[in-house]
Amino acid sequence: SIILGLESSCDETAAALVRRHSDGSVEVLSERIASQDDKHAAFGGVVPEIAARAHVERMDGLVKEVMSEANIGWKDIGGVATTSGPGLIGGVLVGLMTGKGISLAHDIPFMAVNHLEGHALSPRLTGQIIFPYLLLLVSGGHCQFLMVKNLGEYERLGSTIDDAPGEAFDKTAKLMGLGFPGGPAVERWAKDGNENAVELPRPLLNRKDTLDMSFAGLKTAVRRAIELEPLSDTRKADISASFQLAVADILSKRTSQAMSLFKERVDASNLQFVIAGGVAANKTIRARLESVAEDAGFNFAVPPMKWCTDNAAMIALVGLEKFEREAFDDLDVSARARWPLDSDAASQKPAYG
Ligand code: ATP
Ligand code: MG
Ligand code: FE
């Protein structure tokens, strides 16, 4: 069956169609991502009200576009899946209402998808990644190590105790006026910088007894470094490179510890490490984590760039996996602002966030 997936939890409006082939592989028949970056750039961050309006304006059109590109009609679609949280509630509601309407109008099953589960399973869009695997989910709102045991079965091994790295990238870019979204901008500037020029802390990293991470102190230190000297282009590049290195150091160290823990728990023949989420699009961070994986004897997987940041292909994929298990949802599910992936979250019914 072909599954339609919709995403609208932050500032990308997206629709995608996927299906599974008999060899087990997944095909993305078509997808559209309408970014709202230009609408939020002036504010240096996502404005929820503007985001929700933009989702309303774009969603129906995107659905039509992916269907016509795939050259299919409603009778060809077996089910519809939408992000029902976590995220900005106004935006989540737009996708959710659209999905429910489609389900009702065309009498097809509806699947409510946890956005984080979309990120978590996104590497399975391109390759055969078998459960269980070790996941580092590193995005605009999250940073956590998870043991992915099955669809809907997650165990959290450690996470940030304050900010997410994506947020720190965005804040760093905003403070230096590098542009929005901040991650790609900082990465571009970092290319010309000296990563050892600015001394920045690696908070919490001296503690070896935890997989938790902290980025708030790093953010503060970056602010101080910015205020310390006039911001020449060289200085901007140096701060960007030093900041990116600090994030890479924190993630690498904890990844190596997480791998040791994971090794104690699973069959040695199935050591897989996956990174997902917007920050996984960063080339320096990808490369660092890939080499950590290599040293520890883990297979390394990361989705292609376009599926690291928010997209509907990953939502359609989770929808497909739920569809295949007949894990359908009732049309009374609610949008959730918060929805952790562990605590049996993905299989439990969404409630008011
Ligand atoms: P969440 O998925 O946690 O709810 P989100 O959906 O806002 O949050 P994503 O879309 O997964 O987050 O990722 C967006 C974040 O990724 C932003 O903070 C952005 O700055 C960051 N990001 C994107 N590309 C890069 C990059 N090349 N380097 C570093 N960070 C990046
Ligand atoms: Mg975005
Ligand atoms: Fe996301």
227 CA distance to ligand 3 middle (Å): 31
140 is in an annotated binding site: yes
**Ligand 1 contact via 329 beta carbon (within 6 Å):** no
With a cut of 80, say whether residue 241 has pLDDT above it. yes
List the structure tokens of 348: 């439990």
238 is in an annotated binding site: no
135 CA distance to ligand 2 middle (Å): 21
With a cut of 60, say whether residue 345 has pLDDT above it. no
> Vertex 114, ends 113 and 120: CA angle to 5°?
110
Taking only the tens place, the pLDDT of each residue in 24-45 is 999 999 999 999 999 998 888 8
With a cut of 80, say whether residue 206 has pLDDT above it. yes
Please report which confidence band the pLDDT of residue 351 belongs to, taking 50, 70 and 90 as the band edges.
very low
Please report which confidence band the pLDDT of residue 348 belongs to, taking 50, 70 and 90 as the band edges.
very low
110 CA distance to ligand 1 middle (Å): 27
104 is in an annotated binding site: no
Percent of the chain with pLDDT strictly greater than 70: 97
Mutation test residue for ligand 1: of 35, 113, 163, 279, the one with most atoms within 8 Å of CB: 279
Percent of the chain with pLDDT strictly greater than 90: 93
pLDDT of residue 272: 97
Candidates 79, 66, 58, 81; CA nearest to 31 is: 66
Taking only the tens place, the pLDDT of each residue in 81-116 is 999 999 999 999 999 999 999 999 999 999 999 999
Candidates 188, 218, 352; CA nearest to 281 is: 188
Taking only the tens place, the pLDDT of each residue in 43-60 is 888 999 999 999 999 999
With a cut of 70, say whether residue 347 has pLDDT above it. no
pLDDT of residue 44: 84
With a cut of 60, say whether residue 61 has pLDDT above it. yes
Measured CA to CA, the distance from residue 214 to residue 296 in angstroms comes to 24
pLDDT of residue 346: 46
Beta-ladder partners of 16:
5, 31
Ligand 1 atom nearest residue 277's Cα: 11
Beta-ladder partners of 13:
34
Region 224-252: mean pLDDT is 97
Q: Which residues sit with Cβ closer than 5 angstroms to ligand 3, an ion?
A: 139, 310
Specify the residue with its C-alpha closest to ligand 1, atom 19. Answer: 183
With a cut of 70, say whether residue 3 has pLDDT above it. yes
**Ligand 1 contact via 7 beta carbon (within 6 Å):** no
Record the pTM: 0.95
pLDDT of residue 349: 43
Residue 73 CA: distances (Å) to CA of 1, 62, 65, 78: 13, 14, 11, 11
Specify the residue with its C-alpha closest to ligand 1, atom 13. Answer: 278
Cis peptide before 132 (omega within 30 of 0): yes
pLDDT of residue 343: 67
Specify the residue with its C-alpha closest to ligand 1, atom 3. Answer: 141
